[in-house]
Structure 1
Amino acid sequence: MILFIIIGIVLLIVSFTLKSNVSNPFSKFSNLLRAIGVIVIALGVFSSMFKQIDAGKVGVKSLYGSVETDVLESGLHLINPLLDVTNFDIQTQNYTMSAIHGEGALEGDDAIRVLSNDGLEVVIDLTVLYRVIPNEAPKIFKQIGVNYIDKIVRPVTRTRIRDNAVYYDAIALYSTKRSEFQLRIFKTIETDFKNRGLVLEQLLIRNINLPSSVKTTIESKINAEQDAQKMTFVLQKEKQEAERKRVEAQGIADYQRIISSGLTDKQLQYEQIKAQKEIATSPNTKIIFMGKGNAPVILSDK
């Protein structure tokens, strides 16, 4: 668009130059060049009156350094051709700071190194999910510029994480207080972002790396706790087994006491008859009863 206007102006200058120089054999083309120049300028001006804003973006209008407060939504707009329109992405964006090469927004080790409450260095990898508030895009453009990632997102995130890490010791950050720490830094960064026209959608702590000596201490502590839990389980099992045996022994003792106090000769004879009947009905046994009295002799062919 601007290029068309520039080309048209050049053609007009050339046409006037040729017209003033009658001896030049190309002077007869001056009127044609003037007409073409006017047409090209008209096309440039007409095309610059239309501005298309892609989906997920808004356009910030400025005229000679003065930024207008309203924005252009996605779609085709008819505007003042002298306006300069700057596009702002309002979709969710992410910024990752990682110690692993190729994962972060910057090349190399870009993890955040903080000092914990106990004076140890902790390395934190995280991802920030954020987006631009559409109506705040003119304010961002005027006060910060289009490079709000390097000016706001990155420095604010790193500073707030360092400021809040000092309230926790290294082991707590690594284990029990990780969720609390993440929520705490989310609230502080969310406030800072909102004051600058950004919405913090989510803050993801991807990894927390501790010094090797601290890792060894934590692993030893975890192993000791697991051994203690295992021993507690074993003791509980042994107590349950001892209780079971005690109940079983008590039941046997009660049974023997009941039997010994209520057992008669007729009952013994009845039990003997039952046992003999079971033996006699066995398909693999032949039984012969001999003798008289309460205890006959039993002969078998087996």
Structure 2
Amino acid sequence: MEKLPKIGLPILIGIIVIIIVIAKSAVTIDSGEAGVLFRTFGEGVVIDEPPMGEGFHIVAPWNKVFVYETRRQEIFEKMKVLSSNGLDIQLDASAWYQPDEKNLGRLHQEIGENYLQRIILPTIRSAARSVVGRYTPEQLYSSKRDAIQKEIFEETKKIVDGQYIVLDEILVRDVTLPPTIKQAIERKLKQEQESLEYEFRLVTAEKEAQKVRIEAQGKADANRILSASLTDKILQDKGIDATNRLAESPNSKVVIIGSGESGMPIILGNQ
């Protein structure tokens, strides 16, 4: 009975050691992640093999696994930049990014896990300062927001693409100007709108006046043509026709005496 504890103690110690080794060797990589293996007694960071995928893995306890999130991620950044005339502009932007999974080993070896702070953010800030510095506050406030968003993205992507990082998009969410500048721009825009409205009213009035002139000219031309076509003979024939129709009416009593200068009867009255 006394020997059992002596035999069981090494077994218990062995079991504990095995559990510790397995715990140290077991690596679980969650969904949307990948692992970079570091061989302590080998070549170091493994770059010539695909990264470790999702699931359960057993590695030598003296090796290490660095886990990276490979899903698309978003970072928000507030920046103070200068416009073309030296005014402070606050830019609120966000970036969609993810590591290049095929080159995850190289990313870890050359840049490291904090690639966001080392590469992405400094590059976005530099590109934003460069791009915004080309525009006036008025352009940034009104018509050029889409343009600066595109230019910041393109300039950032040129650098980031060579750093084993995939940059999907940069969004400019807000541009904040100094209050006095913003108010001045709004007043100017309001005045321009009122000026455009006034010009529109003038153009409309001019078109209406032109329409009236055209109609009046048309009527005048028609009267002139009609007057030129009404000869004395035509007028006399029309008068005879009208007199005949009036005389044929059963309800009319016509008295004719004398004649006018044209020889037409003169109608004095009817009942």
Is contact 1:117-1:169 (8 Å) kept? yes
**Greater relative contact order (CA < 8 Å, ≥ 6 in sequence):** 2
The answer as to whether partners of 1:290 and 1:296 remain within 8 angstroms in 2 is no
Q: CA deviation at 1:155?
A: 2.7
Question: Secondary structure, in 3 states, of the residue corresponding to 2:166?
Answer: strand
Q: How has the CA–CA distance of structure 1 residues 298 and 208 changed in structure 2, closer, same or farther, with 3 Å as cutoff?
A: farther
Tell me if the contact between 1:289 and 1:297 (Cα under 8 Å) persists in the aligned partners.
no
Give TM-score scaled by structure 2 length: 0.79
Q: Which runs of 5+ in 1 are unaligned?
A: 1-24, 98-110, 281-286
Structure-to-structure mapping, 1:21-40, within 5 angstroms: 28-40=4-16
Provide the residue aligned with 1:123 in structure 2: 90
What code does the residue aligned with 2:45 have?
A: V
Do residues 266 (structure 1) and 237 (structure 2) align? yes
Among candidates 201, 212, 235, match of residue 168 of structure 2: 201
Q: Structure 2 unaligned runs (5+)?
A: 256-264
Q: Following the alignment from structure 2 to structure 1, what is the Cα–Cα distance between the partners of residues 82 and 72? A: 31
Residue 36 of structure 2 is aligned to residue 73 of structure 1? no
1:92 is aligned, of 66, 72, 86, to: 72
- Size of the aligned set, in residue pairs, is 252
CA gap of 1:272–1:52, structure 2 versus 1, over 3 A, is: farther
Choose from 220, 223, 234 the match for 1:256: 223
Cα distance, 1:298–1:194 mapped onto 2, change above 3 Å: farther
Aligned to 1:176: 143
**Partner residue of 2:252 out of 289, 292, 297:** 289
Rounded to whole Å, the distance in 1 between the matches of 2:267 and 2:185 is: 75
Aligned-pair CA distance for 1:271: 6.9
Give the whole-Å Cα distance in 1 for the aligned partners of 2:243 and 2:6.
Answer: 141
Percent identity over paired residues: 26
Matched, 1:190 2:131: no
Distance 2:216 2:102 in 1: 82
Match of 2:33 in 1: 57
The letter of the residue matching 1:265 is Q
The amino acid of 1:289's aligned partner reads S
TM-score by length of 1: 0.72
